[in-house]
Structure 1
Amino acid sequence: MKPEVSVIIPAYNCSRTIKQAIDSALCQDVISEIIVIDDCSPEDPTECLAEYKSNPQVRLYKNETNLGVAATRNKGVQLAEGEYVAFLDSDDIWRPGKLSKQLAVMKKTGVVLSSTARELMEEDGTHTGRILPVPEKITYKGMLYGNVINCSSVVMKREVAAEFPMGDDDAHEDYICWLQILKKYGEAAGINEPLLLYRMVKNSKSGSKLHSAKMTYQVYRKMGFGTVKSLGYFAGYAIHGVKKYFL
């Protein structure tokens, strides 16, 4: 039977966490395929992935060269057979029912993309109880003042993911992608329930506030805004960041 959702999991130096990610995808109550792509990881994941080789729901691939997470996600989209694609990072975990809840909202509203709230985990998997919410309606204008969409929470139509592939890994590739989609297709749906457990990894690119700030400004420039307008949106982003991390 053809899968309804294709789950795309890039794998790189993740032997400690990837089984939790895959198992959380396998526990979803929709017909899905799980596409795991090893991005030439120095930490060979073969042993920890061995148990999935006989599972017809899991498809294992390995890049010939290191492509980076964005290009690996794009490759997964090209390999996908489902009507929808969902992204899951190898160190994150989905709660049961995540995909079915998102599909129900998407089919009801007709949106091409949906996201959920997320609970933050420590690197060792300890739950913090801290939840980052999402609005019920995610708009292009609202997203310009701060990215509320986490990649591991996303479900989207496969043809839309193919239409807007992710770009440079060093430039908030997912943020630009969401903005482009919202600009063309209108609002996305948000489910304000922490159906994603997001692992905070020390020294990661996304975890560096300075790096994130620099890349956010570059997002505005790549979206075609001039210096003054980019600085205006950046000020809004900074205020959003203060509320998000310190209040």
Structure 2
Amino acid sequence: METPLVSIITPSFNSEKFISETIQSVQNQTYKNWEMIIVDDCSSDETVSIVTKMALQDNRIKFFQSEKNSGTGIARNAALAKTKGRYISFLDADDLWKPQKLEKQIDFLKTNNLPFTFSFYDCIDEEGKPLNKRVEAPGNLSYRQLFFCNYVGNLTGIYDVNYFDKITISSIRKRQDWMLWLTILKKIKTAQPIPESLAFYRIREHSLSASKLDLLKHNFTVYRTFHGFNIVVASFCMIGFLFTQLIIKPGYIKKLKF
């Protein structure tokens, strides 16, 4: 059975607390044909030494350093330029994959002849403890649904380079993943997730996901800059976004019982 190369893009910045566990979650994949492209955005902690050591022990890990701190969008594009795989996937330096994540996604893509997919994911806190919360998505996600809410977790998305070519990521410092998925959905119209959790998303104390006000600000920037809407239209889009967040999306966030 063909096992095409999967390229994993990971930007890092002051990630010494999490990066080794993140890399190990990739090394634990049942799907073995991958390369992990890590681009460090001028960390001042021990991230560089940790990744350098792990890369010397596993030649599938490719490590590069930025000359100046430029944000995750620039780091992701630098990594993208160095990828060689048929499939592009994403994993931030503090998130984790479950062992069968890649195997199940590649099989799903090939079985259903799809160029893109994603999955559900579970949330953990900064210390890695479960928050008993699972983020799901519509079974047939449309561009319109994605326009008002980013249902695709960055750590779960994977796309076929043979279909899309390499897609340059926006240099805007926040919400690049949402803009990437919008670019993909604008072309293919709908996307199907694997209806199970394949990853762990870490919610950190000062992360964007932990700050609702910052989330609103950056989403407004997407409507203004990425879509090119004027202030009035962008404001109406934000109303739709808030409606989705308050009324619709809560139905896709499940409380787990253990």
Q: TM-score, normalised by structure 2?
A: 0.87
Q: 1:33 — aligned with what? A: 35
Among 165, 170, 175, the residue aligned to 1:167: 170
Task: Check if 1:191 corresponds to 2:191.
Answer: no
Task: Using the TM superposition, name which of 104-113 and 62-71 deviates more.
Answer: 104-113
Contact 2:80 2:166 in 1 (8 A): no
Change (3 A) 1:54 1:161: farther
Q: 1:95 — aligned with what? A: 98
Change (3 A) 1:2 1:113: closer
SS, match of residue 178 in structure 2:
helix
Contact 1:3 1:33 in 2 (8 A): no
List aligned pairs for 1:12-161, cutoff 5 A. Answer: 12-30=13-31, 31-49=33-51, 50-158=53-161
Task: Using the TM superposition, name which of 159-168 and 92-101 deviates more.
Answer: 159-168
Task: Check if 1:241 corresponds to 2:245.
Answer: yes
Q: TM-score, normalised by structure 1?
A: 0.90
Contact 1:77 1:158 in 2 (8 A): no
Structure 1 letter corresponding to 2:240: G
Q: 1:230 — aligned with what? A: 234
Change (3 A) 1:160 1:41: farther
Contact 2:40 2:48 in 1 (8 A): no
Change (3 A) 1:231 1:153: same
Contact 1:8 1:77 in 2 (8 A): yes
Aligned residue pairs, count? 247
1:85-109 superposed Cα distances (whole Å, 9 cap, x missing partner): 1110010000011111111222233
SS, match of residue 76 in structure 2:
helix
Structure 1 letter corresponding to 2:41: D
1:62-116 superposed Cα distances (whole Å, 9 cap, x missing partner): 1122221111111111101110011100100000111111112222333322111
Change (3 A) 1:170 1:59: closer
Contact 2:73 2:173 in 1 (8 A): no
Change (3 A) 1:233 1:160: farther
Measure, in 1, the Cα distance between the counterparts of 2:9 and 2:171: 18
What is the CA-CA distance between 1:131 and the residue it aligns to? 0.4
Structure 2 letter corresponding to 1:34: M
What is the CA-CA distance between 1:161 and the residue it aligns to? 6.8
Q: CA RMSD in A?
A: 2.3
Contact 1:145 1:233 in 2 (8 A): yes
Measure, in 1, the Cα distance between the counterparts of 2:149 and 2:245: 8
What is the CA-CA distance between 1:148 and the residue it aligns to? 0.5
SS, match of residue 47 in structure 1:
helix
Structure 2 letter corresponding to 1:236: G
Measure, in 1, the Cα distance between the counterparts of 2:176 and 2:115: 19
Measure, in 2, the Cα distance between the counterparts of 1:161 and 1:40: 30
Structure 2 letter corresponding to 1:5: V
Task: Check if 1:181 corresponds to 2:167.
Answer: no
Measure, in 2, the Cα distance between the counterparts of 1:142 and 1:118: 18
SS, match of residue 118 in structure 1:
strand
Structure 2, unpaired ranges of 5+ = 254-258
